[in-house]
Structure 1
Amino acid sequence: MNPDRSAIEVRGAREHNLQDVSVTLPWGRLICMTGVSGSGKSSLAFDTLFAEGQRRYIESLSAYARQFLTQVSKPDVDGITGLSPSVAIQQKTSGWNPRSTVGTITQAHDFLRVLFARIGESRCPKCDRPIRAQSRDQMLARLLPWGEGAAVLVMAPIARKRKGEFRDVFDDLRRQGFARARVDGAVVSLSDPPKLAKNQRHDVDVVIDRLTIREDARMRLAEAIEHALRIGQGTLVVHRSEEGRGGADAGGAGNDLILSSEYSCATCGISLEAPTPQTLSFNSPQGMCPRCDGLGRSFDFDPDLLVPDPDKSFLDGAVEPMRGPIGRWRRHIFRSVAQHVGFDLKAKWRDLSAAARNALLFGTGDAHLTFEWRTRGGVFRHGGTFDGVVADLMRSYRKATSAMVRSYYEKYMREQVCPQCRGARIGPQGAAIRLGGRTLPELCAMSVDQLAEFVDGLTLGATERTIAEQALRELRLRLRFLQDVGLNYLTLDRAAPTLSGGESQRIRLASQIGAGLTGVLYILDEPSIGLHPRDNRRLLDSLKRLRDQGNTVIVVEHDEETMRESDYLVDFGPGPGVRGGRVVASGGVDAVCASAESVTGAYLSGRRRIEVPKRRRPVERTGKIRSSRRTKT
């Protein structure tokens, strides 16, 4: 041990009620500061030792850096020697940043994001089909065993669920030399293409080649893949029939395999960026839910507030912000929605089905509706989707520039779980990625114990194990640290503002153990508070692990087990306030017990005890709590 670092010497400390305290604290030990409340423990630990450590650190920085930091005044002390950089882990909450969670504080969430981005299975956010970016060689290697001996059509997708007659498309394909296409599941000749309904949605694929997959057809298949990817802009479709070559020509019966050289879903027609850790971060614009900006909760219209009188019908103003007359144009839209879902707009709101209410308030999704506009000149039809009343109200609220108008709409709004991400905080692409069959929000909703068991049970291939090895090791370490400090029941998605002071402190303790720093003075404020006695042993083991890394650990404590397990005790007293502020005993447990002036020593030695009363006071009044649903309850 460095002789200059054998002890921390404090001379003449007079901060708050300290009465010219001088004390020697051995370096590299677990030190417990005890005494009655108000006797000066925290004044020496936090307001003297920690404050001086912070002040010295700030003074070591350049003048430019110091201008951005809060200046710390020098504590009232004659001198301190042997002091190292100090870290205080106090008994307080982690702040009120709604973006902080147990996972982000401990960095466990960061390593989960790395795992999902690197070895997770990407899926389409709409249809949930797997999305893989593959090289041409990988596609060939997959197709040979998949369709061995079968007749297949290699096709390039041209249109997916698009309206139109596609006559120009068919003419252009024929001029390029293609003879066949598959239209809505049927293979047709481009010399005599079908006449398609202009207002209906169609699927169109051009046939690149038809062949029977065999080993001797490898070169031909590779050329077909290359050509299909070029025409299909990175996507191809291979149709395999179970009925031989004739079945492949039929095109409608059999199996389709969709392959892509990009992260895109040929079925839904959406393209995605290759997943990165930022794709799964609710603190990054790339990954956060666009509706709630990654908070998991949004200020939205509440159906219960929108409909104060469910005995009214929709047309009679059941949705209060719309209680004025409904114009003819809007009426024909609502009438078409009612016909599509199957309900009566004149029925009482309470008599409508959940599907009907949801359609009126939140829309019909991607469903294509046909709206009928009746005039004296006849009936005119037009197609489209319906977003719902709430979407219209939200648009009006966001456009409002008047405080009075915004205040009017806010009467019908309240903070609630985001309806788009359902509290998951991340966007659709990140939420659709799976690892071991689970999504990131599902893993973050598990307790630490459950998540540790899931991680240990992951089955990975050789390549995946190599990629994930370091991230898995770091993740397991952080989960173990949380278990060691008695926080195995927490979930990684638990918001920091909902943590108790003791939980917050132990999370920071777990983070410091994981940091692996050495030569640091750690000061903790009652880390055992709120902890069940069965978990106290694990907490003490964590404190000793922090000490064994080459640090000095000072805890301000009232817990007997912590005192007895400490290497060194400093007892303050003999009383609180002006009657305290002195070190009445220091050393091992035996030294404190032998001190006649130490109140703590009297109880540790058994000279004094708190007797259990023979009779308890009778209970005269009680209180009841019903239906509590806050945080964990």
Structure 2
Amino acid sequence: MDSIVETDPKKAILIKGARLHNLKNIDVSIPRNQLVVITGMSGSGKSTLAFDTLYAEGQRRYVESLSSYARQFLGKLDKPKVDYIRGIAPAIAIEQKINSTNPRSTVGTSTEIYDYLKLLYARIGKTYSPISGNEVVKHRVSDVVDYVLSQEKDRRFLLLAPITISDDRDIQKSLDLLSKQGYARIKHKGEVLRIGPEMTDIGRSFDLVVDRVVVKKEDEDFINRLAGAIDTAFFEGKGTCLIEEADGDQRIAFSNKFELDGLVFPEPNVHLFSFSNPYGACPKCEGYGDVIGIDEDLVIPNTERSVYDNAIAPWKGESMSVYRDDLVNNAYTFDFPIHKPWFELTPEQRNLVWEGNKHFTGLNAFFQKLEEKSYKIQNRVMLSRYRGKTRCNQCSGTRLRAEASYVKVGGKSITELVDMPIYKLAKFFDELELDPHRTEVSKRLLLEIRNRIRYLLKVGLSYLSLNRKSNSLSGGESQRINLATSLGSSLVGSMYILDEPSVGLHPRDSENLIEVLKALKALGNTVIVVEHDEEMMRAADRIIDIGPEAGTHGGEVVAQGTLSELLKSDSYTARYLSGAMEIPVPAKRRNGKGHITVLGARQHNLQNIDVTFPLQVLTVVTGVSGSGKSTLVNKILYPALQKKLGGYGQKAGHHKTLEGEFGFISHLEFVDQNPIGRSSRSNPVTYLKAYDDIRNLFASQKLSKLRGYKSKHFSFNVDGGRCEKCKGEGDITVEMQFMADVHLECDQCKGKRFKKEILEVQFHKASISDVLQMTVDEAISFFQDHKADKIASRLKPLQDVGLGYVALGQPSSTLSGGEAQRIKLASFLGKGQGREKALFIFDEPTTGLHFHDIRKLLDSFNALLGKGHSIIVIEHNIELIKSADHVIDLGPEGGDKGGQLLAFGTPEEVASNPDSITGRYLKQKLR
């Protein structure tokens, strides 16, 4: 099915003759202002069509529209291999990339909510003194005029300015100067005195009578004269003026200085709330929120212990125990629980240990003493032992100078708001009540803030806070934040292209995501989603199915149309959606041999839970986004088990202990979605160590022996055979001044990586470059045909995990997270039966996988389990969850509403548990 359905470019985006990568000269019609899903098996050409063809052409046309001056900095963007694309709209790509490396970038800044918050606080914020808690008010001339006019008609007042003559000036000369300026009287000790000679006995402080006021209503001349006199009184009184009744009974002070309780406060402005601006940033951490200082996790390494039981590591031992003894022996005087575990102490009690009091030296003062005597080697050693990246103690991680927290809206400072989870922030703004003036001033700002918060809730990010660093987010979270930001900006007539937005989302949250995409469509945008999620496909207005399989066996439009039209086709997608094909529920669940139990897990939002992981089975940890899955497995189980097995790694998150039968595990394999190699030369064939055999094969050819070529000549990592210009990269990197670097094909080797004479060496008419450009499927067939079975068998695991479409020499930087994960899995599968028993930990391995690919992945898992290994998977995909032997479900929600163990057991047991949200969706698949 490759005919264009709609041929009017005003109604559809028309792609004719797309043939980039594996696309086979296909024609596609994408209707405008619709939700369109592009699906198909991994490697079938979906992303090539959506991003490398459609989005790339949109970008190229944008660059072409710029001036010749701007284009010289951007480089030339190549036209995608396509006959034409018509009806294209301005393109916005939202990919699974953590696109910010700026350590100051936060969820608040990237969604623009923080920009609106800064404006809100600058315009309507009230400043309160930290000493008295009273509002700091700056009076204007109009405030004093309003006060006078509010008094009874004909009432008499004195307008006074407090005067203090400095010690270096003569009192009489100062009075004479006031007299020459036109002032006739002063008030001193309750008496009004006329300025005259020899008044030195009045001292250096008195009140200058600026004017005598008789209240008149609705008299324009009186009001103008009064305003002028008040302005003069503020000037003479250096910011202060007094209104006193003529009989001296009542006196009111007004100040046009922003001060109270002896403190001068900065007036609220946008820069005061900006941590990217030197004016507003915390002076200690410079707006980063953390510093190199004393790390609390190192000072209190075991939070299970109490202060009495030596929880505070630096206070152990004879020489330092005096500090601990002072606290323990005096604790009764200030009611401190010395026997309570550290993790159960209140924030106030922990803070007391750090700050200290008159009875004992706090930790801050203790380390300060060590700093002061750091000339002693033992003090320097102790300081280095407890130093690390830690939260700034001056701003407590808020990034702003202290004065910013004195400004409040609705009783909350901006620093309190950014630390709230999004769902609490939404409640705060829904319930916010302001006076009529502030309501009018902030109307537009509040509308933008509430809209953007609502979109964050809809894309399943209610558990994040605005202060969360952008570079700490997962790819899926980052993508959904970009999606929420796009919704907030309300663009119209654009083309949004999304790369699997459902990644990292529980099925419950996917429903909300679909609503968000429909809202984006309703604004008048074309929404194109590269996706495998079943619910997303069922919600789409149109589905374009690319296939039939992957790599050279893909690249065709096998079906396109509505869901009902798609189901009439015979594609893999249609067969799985119709039920003709399915991932079968295992006939029998495996029983575990041995177990590992994490006791008292309480890192981040985990609620002091005990979780048991059975071994030699497939265990899936699931739960809604932000429920604590990654914290439990990646931050506690993995590092704690690594240490138990004698390895080294990151510090385990807070938990009581790890128990279990460790004899069933000899080592750990953590299979995450990070790239398979840091070098741009890293690729699948080098990672699987198959390239060594391929190089040896080429070095054994006749021409190689005649010319003296060794195995190293066929390596692109060392000098010898590689192209000298691009150093074996195949392309040249051109550094751009204002944009990302551009990679251009090397004009010397034409992207082939090797010297011309090296390429003359061939194995059955294929050069080393030709072999690297083969897909895994092609290479296996090629080597088997020519009796190089050893190389073919090395590559076979890649085919088994569904990566037959990947080129042998494809740079690791171009592989998706899911592909990188499966290459690691293939490397483990290829290591043979002789390996000792391992525990494999996978983080969302179904990322980027079609139903048919998940089936292959499960076959790989079964192969590992068959060898006696154990597997723990963090996953949301119901197809994989239903195939597990044991399910651990966390929840019920994300953030501080999560972290509880809701259900555990076989998928059937979890499905029958009424508390499990995952169970509701699992029940539909277990039939």
TM-score of the alignment, normalized to the shorter chain, above 0.5: yes
The match for 2:356 among 354, 357, 371 is 354
Say whether residues 1:261 and 2:278 are aligned partners: no
SS across alignment from 1:4:
coil
Say whether residues 1:446 and 2:446 are aligned partners: no
Q: Which amino acid aligns with 1:613?
A: P
Q: Which position in structure 2 is the counterpart of 1:512?
A: 486
Q: Which position in structure 1 is the counterpart of 2:588?
A: 615
Q: Which position in structure 2 is the counterpart of 1:77?
A: 82
Q: How does 1:273-422 map to 2 (within 5 A)?
A: 274-302=267-295, 308=314, 311=317, 354-355=356-357, 389=369, 413-422=387-396
Deviates more, 1:465-474 or 1:442-451: 442-451
Q: Which position in structure 2 is the counterpart of 1:605?
A: 578
TM-score by length of 1: 0.72
Q: Which amino acid aligns with 2:499?
A: D
C-alpha distance in 2, partners of 1:461/1:593?
58
SS across alignment from 1:594:
coil
Q: Which amino acid aligns with 2:405?
A: A
Change in Cα spacing, 1:629 to 1:513, as seen in structure 2 (3 Å) is closer
> What is the root-mean-square deviation in Å for CA atoms of aligned residues?
4.5
Q: Which position in structure 2 is the counterpart of 1:63?
A: 68
Say whether residues 1:42 and 2:47 are aligned partners: yes
Q: How does 1:479-490 map to 2 (within 5 A)?
A: 479-490=453-464
C-alpha distance in 1, partners of 2:262/2:361?
23
Q: Which position in structure 2 is the counterpart of 1:156?
A: 162
TM-fit CA distance, 1:214 = 10
Q: Which position in structure 2 is the counterpart of 1:131?
A: 136
Q: Which amino acid aligns with 1:552?
A: T
Number of equivalences = 535
TM-fit CA distance, 1:310 = 5.0
Q: Which amino acid aligns with 1:261?
A: N
Native 8 Å contact 1:157 1:236 kept in 2: no
Native 8 Å contact 1:157 1:266 kept in 2: no
Which fold has the larger relative contact order, with Cα–Cα distance below 8 Å and residues 6 or more apart in sequence?
1
Say whether residues 1:628 and 2:633 are aligned partners: no
Native 8 Å contact 2:156 2:215 kept in 1: no
C-alpha distance in 1, partners of 2:117/2:252?
31
Q: How does 1:233-272 map to 2 (within 5 A)?
A: 233-236=238-241, 259-262=254-257, 264-270=258-264, 272=266
C-alpha distance in 2, partners of 1:495/1:550?
32
C-alpha distance in 1, partners of 2:561/2:149?
77
Q: Which position in structure 2 is the counterpart of 1:102?
A: 107
Q: Which position in structure 2 is the counterpart of 1:493?
A: 467
Note the alpha carbon deviations across 1:189-226, whole angstroms, 9 max, x for none: 99487xxxxxxxxxx97455799999699999989966
Q: Which amino acid aligns with 1:529?
A: V
TM-fit CA distance, 1:600 = 0.8
TM-fit CA distance, 1:589 = 0.9
TM-fit CA distance, 1:65 = 0.8
TM-fit CA distance, 1:85 = 2.0
Q: Which position in structure 2 is the counterpart of 1:28?
A: 33
Q: Which position in structure 2 is the counterpart of 1:464?
A: 438
TM-fit CA distance, 1:128 = 4.7
SS across alignment from 1:24:
strand
TM-fit CA distance, 1:488 = 2.8
Q: Which amino acid aligns with 1:541?
A: E
Q: Which amino acid aligns with 1:260?
A: S
Native 8 Å contact 2:14 2:29 kept in 1: yes
Q: Which amino acid aligns with 1:629?
A: H
Q: Which position in structure 2 is the counterpart of 1:332?
A: none
C-alpha distance in 2, partners of 1:115/1:492?
15
C-alpha distance in 2, partners of 1:429/1:525?
43
Native 8 Å contact 1:569 1:592 kept in 2: yes
Q: Which amino acid aligns with 1:102?
A: V
Q: Which position in structure 2 is the counterpart of 1:251?
A: none
Q: Which position in structure 2 is the counterpart of 1:581?
A: 555
The match for 2:402 among 415, 428, 447 is 428
Say whether residues 1:566 and 2:572 are aligned partners: no
C-alpha distance in 2, partners of 1:54/1:357?
67
TM-fit CA distance, 1:76 = 2.8
Change in Cα spacing, 1:221 to 1:158, as seen in structure 2 (3 Å) is farther
C-alpha distance in 1, partners of 2:445/2:501?
29
Say whether residues 1:474 and 2:468 are aligned partners: no
Native 8 Å contact 1:108 1:475 kept in 2: yes
Q: Which position in structure 2 is the counterpart of 1:53?
A: 58
Native 8 Å contact 2:186 2:206 kept in 1: yes
Native 8 Å contact 2:94 2:479 kept in 1: yes
Change in Cα spacing, 1:258 to 1:432, as seen in structure 2 (3 Å) is farther
Native 8 Å contact 1:445 1:493 kept in 2: yes
Say whether residues 1:544 and 2:524 are aligned partners: no
Note the alpha carbon deviations across 1:233-253, whole angstroms, 9 max, x for none: 11357899xxx968x8xxxxx
C-alpha distance in 1, partners of 2:200/2:590?
95
Deviates more, 1:559-568 or 1:351-360: 351-360
How much identity, in percent, do the aligned residues show?
37
SS across alignment from 2:276:
coil
TM-score by length of 2: 0.50
C-alpha distance in 1, partners of 2:175/2:361?
44
C-alpha distance in 1, partners of 2:54/2:60?
10
Change in Cα spacing, 1:2 to 1:392, as seen in structure 2 (3 Å) is farther
C-alpha distance in 1, partners of 2:576/2:449?
43
Give unmatched runs, 5+ long, in structure 2.
1-5, 179-184, 191-198, 300-311, 324-351, 606-630, 632-894, 900-927
C-alpha distance in 2, partners of 1:392/1:126?
31
Give unmatched runs, 5+ long, in structure 1.
160-165, 183-188, 194-203, 249-255, 319-349, 365-386, 397-405
